[in-house]
Structure formats: C-alpha cells, structure tokens
Structure 1
Amino acid sequence: MDAVHPGSTPTRAPSRVPVSPAGHVVGALVNLVVLYLVNVAPGWQTLPFLTDATPRVLGLVNAALWVSAAAEAVYVVRGTGPVRAAGEVVTTLVGLGATLRVWAVFPFELSEGWHLLVRGLLVVALVGSAIGILVALGRLVGALVGAVARR
C-alpha cells in the first residue's frame, strides 16, 4: 500500500476481481450448453415467442457464443493483461453485432407491451456494448503500454 502522509489521500489502483481458471471453464461450458440448447435440443423452435425469422439471427448469435466460449478457454491459460483486454474487445464487438442483427430482424412475436420492453432492453444492450468496447479498448491500450514499460 502507498505511504500516507498527513493531509494526503491514499491511492490505489482500480481493482478488478480476478476470476479463477475454474470460473472461466464454467463460463465456457455455459456458452457451449446454450449453443446446444438453441441449435440441437430442444432447439429454438420450442420457444413459442420466436418466429420463423429466428434463423436470420442465429449465425451472429452463435458466433457470439462461440467467440465467448473460446475467449473463456484462453483466459484459463492467460486471463490477464493484454490478452484479456483484447478478448473483451473482440467478444463485445461480436456481441454488439449479434444484438444489432436481433434489433434489425426482431424475431419475436410479442404483445405490444412486451414488444416495447424487449426493444428497450436491446437499446440498453447496444449502449452498454458501445461503452464496454470503449472501456475494453482503454484497458487494452493501458495493458499494452504497461507491458512495453516493463521491458
């Protein structure tokens, strides 16, 4: 911890709670299970609120799940620094693409109230993804600068 002088405020680096390798394994497995449930059994067709337009979004939704699972697998081995920051940029970009596709196709058959709620949640996801990409890019630059400074 930094030395504290009278009248000064102690400073600390922002803390990020590290995720154990087991947590990353669970994260990867959850993505793979969701892929199985959506694409194999029981399949997206069993959900009564999804329309025949759903296959038009599945490519990007599946890509987001695969990329996230792959990133989690990489984090098991190397879950910090530039690798983690780059993974966050990539996974968030692919997720943003999937969310934009869902917005454009909107493969849901919902009553008007639910329709508006889901659209609102998609807006929140889009804004959150955009912010997340900027934050992850900042972390990536910081991690790269830190790595170069340590050399």
Structure 2
Amino acid sequence: MEKASGGRAGYAIAGVVNAALLWAINIWPGWQAVPFLTPATAGVVGPVNRVLVAGVIVNVVLLLAPFRLVKALGDLAVLVIGLPVMFRLWEVFPFDFGDGWPGWPVVVRVLLVLGIAGQIIGIIVGLVELGRALAGSGANRRRPRRL
C-alpha cells in the first residue's frame, strides 16, 4: 500500500485539535459561554460532535495506518458527515450578534455558503483521490510474467 502524503505529526495535531474542540464545546467552558450563540445551538451540538469525533477517529487511524487509501476514505467520510452539519447550521442559524455591527449575520451566512461549497468541492476531490488510491493499490502487487 502506498503511504499517504503528510506526516504523522499532522495527524496527531489534527486529532488533538478535534478532541480539544469536543472538550471546549461540551465540557469547559461549554458552548453556552460563547456570547453570540443562542439556545438554538443545542440543536446543532450533536451533529457538530459527530464531525469532531469522526475527525479524531480518522486521525488516530491514520497514525496507525498512514496509507493513501485510508486517508482518502477518512477524508471523504469526514466531509460527507460534515456537509449536512453545514446545512443544519444554515437552517438553525444559532447566532445572535446583538446590537453589534448589523452586517455580522450576512458575513456568517456568506461564510456558511463558502463552507458548504468547500465541502462539496472537497467531496468531489475526495472521490477522485479515492479512485486514484484504489487504482494505485494494485500497482505494488507482483504481476505474473508473460511467456
């Protein structure tokens, strides 16, 4: 199997960051401590947690098996799990910027659209990478000699 590009340190850092976000959102200080999040945030915490847990799992697996096919599958899985979360954030829009600058909701909506577009592009790229990894997985196998 072909090794994935990127180092184990990167997988470890990404896994730790995802775990730290899980801790911060759910335990300390908790999402309730963020002043611009509304109580509606409770409706998106579960899906956000699923994406973060998927990221931790994928990065731990990549630490143990840093192969191109594993990376392609893991990246694709996280993107596919994350896309509905972005749509849910759009739908719930658990943000309230109070009397601050009135443009904040528009800025956040634009960022959500960019995030959704990025996820869709990432899924397409992920499918191509998965295809390449599958096509390359047989490249290292011995082929029988022709007579």
Superposition TM-score, scaled by structure 1 size:
0.85
Matches within 5 A, 1:46-85: 46-85=33-72
CA distance in 1, matches of 2:20, 2:70: 25
**Matched residue type, 1:105:** V
1:120 aligns with 2:110: yes
**Matched residue type, 2:70:** V
Tell me which residue corresponds to 1:19. Answer: 6
Q: Structure 1, residues 32-67: CA drift from partner, whole Å, max 9, x if none?
A: 111001100110111110001001001110000000
1:99 aligns with 2:99: no
Tell me which residue corresponds to 2:96. Answer: 109
Alignment RMSD, CA only? 1.4
**Matched residue type, 1:137:** L
User: 4+ runs of 1 displaced by more than 3 Å?
Assistant: none
How many residues align? The count is: 135
Superposition TM-score, scaled by structure 2 size:
0.87
TM-fit CA distance, 1:95: 1.5
**Matched residue type, 2:120:** A
Query: Which protein has greater RCO, CA pairs closer than 8 Å, 6+ apart?
Result: 2
CA distance in 2, matches of 1:137, 1:39: 32
3-state SS in 2 of match to 1:54: helix
**Matched residue type, 1:54:** T
Q: Which runs of 5+ in 1 are unaligned?
A: 1-16
TM-fit CA distance, 1:145: 1.1
3-state SS in 2 of match to 1:19: coil
